[in-house]
C-alpha cells in the first residue's frame, strides 16, 4: 500500500513542466488570491476612498481597458527578445507599482493615468503564462494550462472570500488594505518567478524529417489566417462577459428570478471549471482535436443563449431553471473554448515568433473585455429574442474559424504540431 507521501509525490509528478512548472502554478494561485482581494472592490475604492463620481469611475475603467489592449502584443514581442522569466517578473513588479501609485493621489487624471499604465502589464499576464506553458510543458501544454486555470479559479475564490470578510467590517480603510494586500502578492510572486529556470525557447528549430516546420510569415500582422483566427476568437471569448456581466444584470432587469441567484450562479461557474477543466483538456491535446472542439462549442453557445431568452418568459421557477441551464451550457463553452484556444493559438504560430503571435492572439481576449460589455448591454436592451440572434452569430464565428484554419491543421504524427522535436535556445 502506498504511503501518503508517495501518493503526494506521484500526484506532483503528473503535473507537466517539472519543478519549475509546479512553482509557476504556485505563482498563479498567489497572483489570483491577491487579484481576488482587489478586483471586487476596485470601483468601490475609487468611489469611497478617492471620492470619484460614478461617471469618472466609468471613464477611468474604459480608458484603462482601452490602453490595456496593447499589453498583450507588447508582451509577446518582449518575450521573443528577452528571457521569458525576467519578462514575467518585470510585469508582476509593474502591476504592483501601478497599484501602489493609486495610494499617492486622489486626482482623477493621475488615477486614470496610473490605472491605464497598470493595465498594460496586467493584460500581458495571460499571454506570458501561455507562452511559459508552451515552452516548459511542451506537448503537454494543454494539460498544464488546464491545471493552471483550475488553480486560478481556486485563487480567485480564496481572494474573493478574503475581500468579503474585509469589507464586512464596514470600514473604508479595508479598501486600502485590500489594495496593499494585492501589491504584496505581486512582490511575492516576482521573487518566486525569478527562482524558476528559463524554459527552452524555440528560437532556432532543427527539423526532423517530414514534420519539420512549414514556411509561415514571421510577423502575425502579415498572417491573414492568424489574424482571422484571432478575430473569430474575440467573438468566442464572449462567454466571459455574458457570465460575469450580462447574467447578473439580466436577472435583475428581465427575469422573475431572485436577485440572490446571481452570486450563486457565479459560484456554480467556478465549481464547474475547477471540476471539469483538467479532465476535459484531453479532448484538445492535439491540434486536429482542438479544431474539432469548435463544433460542440457552437452547440453550447446556441443552447446557452436560447436558455437566456427563455428565462424572461415569466415565472420564478422557469427563470431559475433556464438561468441554471444557461450558466451550465456557457460554462462548458468556456471550458471547451479555453482548451481549444490554448492549443490552436500555439499550433498556428511559427516557433521563431511564438511570443509575437501569442501576443496578437491576446488581443482577442483584451478586445472582448473592452467591447464585450457594450455588446451584451445592447443585446439586453433589444430584448429576449436578441439572445438567440447573438447565439447564431457565435455559431457563425465558430464555423468560420473551423473552416479558416483547416489548411493549417493537419493530423500530426506526434501529439503536438507547434513544438518541434529538437529545439536550441538562444538565451
Q: Higher-confidence residue: 394 or 70?
A: 394
Mean pLDDT of the 253-271 span: 84
Q: Which pLDDT score, from 0 to 100, does residue 209 have? A: 36
Closest C-alpha to 205, from 197, 214, 213: 213
175 close to 49: Cβ distance less than 8 angstroms? yes
Q: How many residues does the chain have?
A: 427
Q: Which three cell numbers stand for residue 340?
A: 481549444
Q: HSE-up of 358 (CA within 13 Å, CB side)? A: 30
270 close to 155: Cβ distance less than 8 angstroms? no
- Beta-bridge partners for 4: none
pLDDT tier for residue 152 given thresholds of 50, 70 and 90: confident
Q: Which pLDDT score, from 0 to 100, does residue 240 have? A: 86
For 15, left (φ over 0), alpha (ψ -120 to 50), or beta? beta
Give the span between the Cα atoms of 40 and 44, in whole angstroms: 8
Span of 9-18, 21-30, 291-300 with lowest mean pLDDT: 9-18
Q: Which pLDDT score, from 0 to 100, does residue 208 have? A: 34
- Give DSSP secondary structure letters for 226-249: HHHHHHHHHHHTHHHHIIIIIHHH
For the cut 80, the answer to whether the pLDDT of residue 423 exceeds it is no
Q: Which three cell numbers stand for residue 59?
A: 471613464
Instruction: Give the DSSP letter of residue 53.
Output: -
Chain segment 115-148, per-residue pLDDT in tens: 999 988 988 887 888 888 888 877 788 888 888 8
Mean pLDDT of the 157-169 span: 81
Chain segment 240-257, per-residue pLDDT in tens: 889 887 888 888 888 998
The pair phi, psi for residue 259, each rounded to 5°, is: -60, -35
Give the span between the Cα atoms of 183 and 99, in whole angstroms: 7
Average pLDDT, the chain: 83
pLDDT tier for residue 415 given thresholds of 50, 70 and 90: very low
SS3 422: strand
Q: Hey, how many other C-beta atoms are within 10 angstroms of the C-beta on 148?
A: 28
Q: Considering the chain, what percentage of its residues have pLDDT values greater than 90? A: 34
pLDDT tier for residue 218 given thresholds of 50, 70 and 90: low
**Given the C-alpha cell 490595456, which residue does it identify?**
68
Record the pTM. 0.74
Q: Which pLDDT score, from 0 to 100, does residue 44 have? A: 77
Maximum mean pLDDT: which of 3-7, 23-27, 59-63, 367-371? 23-27
Q: Which pLDDT score, from 0 to 100, does residue 188 have? A: 95
For the cut 70, the answer to whether the pLDDT of residue 409 exceeds it is yes
H-state helical runs in 171-286: 173-194, 224-236, 238-241, 247-254, 261-281
- Beta-bridge partners for 422: 206
Q: Which pLDDT score, from 0 to 100, does residue 38 have? A: 85
Q: Which pLDDT score, from 0 to 100, does residue 358 have? A: 87
Chain segment 329-342, per-residue pLDDT in tens: 999 999 999 999 98
For the cut 70, the answer to whether the pLDDT of residue 5 exceeds it is no
Chain segment 32-82, per-residue pLDDT in tens: 898 888 876 777 788 888 888 877 887 887 788 888 888 889 988 888 888
Amino acid at each position: 500500500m502506498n504511503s501518503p507521501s508517495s501518493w503526494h509525490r506521484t500526484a506532483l509528478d503528473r503535473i507537466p513542466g517539472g519543478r519549475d512548472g509546479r512553482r509557476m502554478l504556485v505563482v498563479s494561485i498567489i497572483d489570483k488570491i491577491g487579484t481576488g482581494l482587489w478586483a471586487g472592490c476596485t470601483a468601490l475604492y475609487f468611489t469611497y476612498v478617492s471620492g470619484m463620481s460614478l461617471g469618472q469611475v466609468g471613464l477611468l475603467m474604459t480608458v484603462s481597458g482601452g490602453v490595456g489592449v496593447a499589453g498583450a502584443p507588447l508582451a509577446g514581442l518582449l518575450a521573443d527578445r528577452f528571457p521569458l522569466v525576467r519578462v514575467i517578473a518585470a510585469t508582476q513588479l509593474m502591476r504592483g507599482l501601478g497599484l501602489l501609485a493609486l495610494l499617492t493621489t486622489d486626482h482623477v487624471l493621475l488615477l486614470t493615468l496610473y490605472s491605464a499604465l497598470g493595465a498594460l502589464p496586467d493584460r500581458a499576464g495571460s499571454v506570458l503564462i501561455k507562452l511559459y506553458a508552451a515552452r516548459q510543458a511542451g506537448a503537454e501544454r494543454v494539460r498544464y494550462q488546464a491545471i493552471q486555470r483550475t488553480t486560478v479559479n481556486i485563487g480567485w475564490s480564496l481572494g474573493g472570500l478574503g475581500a468579503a470578510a474585509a469589507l464586512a467590517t464596514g470600514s473604508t480603510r479595508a479598501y486600502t488594505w485590500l489594495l496593499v494586500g494585492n501589491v504584496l502578492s505581486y512582490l511575492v510572486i516576482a521573487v518566486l518567478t525569478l527562482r524558476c529556470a528559463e524554459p527552452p525557447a524555440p528560437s532556432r528549430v532543427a527539423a526532423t524529417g517530414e514534420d519539420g516546420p512549414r514556411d509561415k510569415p514571421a510577423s502575425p500582422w502579415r498572417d491573414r489566417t492568424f489574424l482571422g483566427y484571432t478575430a473569430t476568437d474575440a467573438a468566442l471569448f464572449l462567454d466571459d462577459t455574458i457570465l460575469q456581466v450580462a447574467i447578473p444584470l439580466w436577472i435583475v432587469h428581465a427575469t422573475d428570478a431572485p436577485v440572490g441567484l446571481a452570486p450563486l450562479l457565479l459560484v456554480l461557474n467556478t465549481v464547474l471549471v475547477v471540476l471539469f477543466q483538467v479532465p476535459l483538456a484531453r479532448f484538445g491535446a492535439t491540434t486536429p482535436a482542438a479544431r474539432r472542439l469548435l463544433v460542440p462549442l457552437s452547440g453550447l453557445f446556441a443552447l446557452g443563449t436560447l436558455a437566456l431568452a427563455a428565462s424572461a418568459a415569466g415565472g420564478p421557477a422557469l427563470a431559475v431553471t433556464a438561468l441554471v441551464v444557461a450558466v451550465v451550457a456557457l460554462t462548458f463553452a468556456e471550458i471547451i473554448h479555453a482548451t481549444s484556444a490554448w492549443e490552436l493559438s500555439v499550433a498556428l504560430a511559427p516557433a521563431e515568433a511564438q511570443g509575437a503571435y501569442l501576443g496578437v492572439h491576446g488581443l482577442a481576449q483584451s478586445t472582448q473585455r473592452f467591447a464585450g460589455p457594450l455588446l451584451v448591454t445592447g443585446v439586453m436592451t433589444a430584448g429576449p429574442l436578441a439572445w438567440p440572434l447573438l447565439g447564431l452569430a457565435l455559431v457563425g464565428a465558430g464555423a468560420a474559424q473551423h473552416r479558416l484554419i483547416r489548411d493549417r491543421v493537419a493530423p500530426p504524427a506526434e501529439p503536438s504540431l507547434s513544438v518541434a522535436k529538437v529545439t536550441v535556445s538562444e538565451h
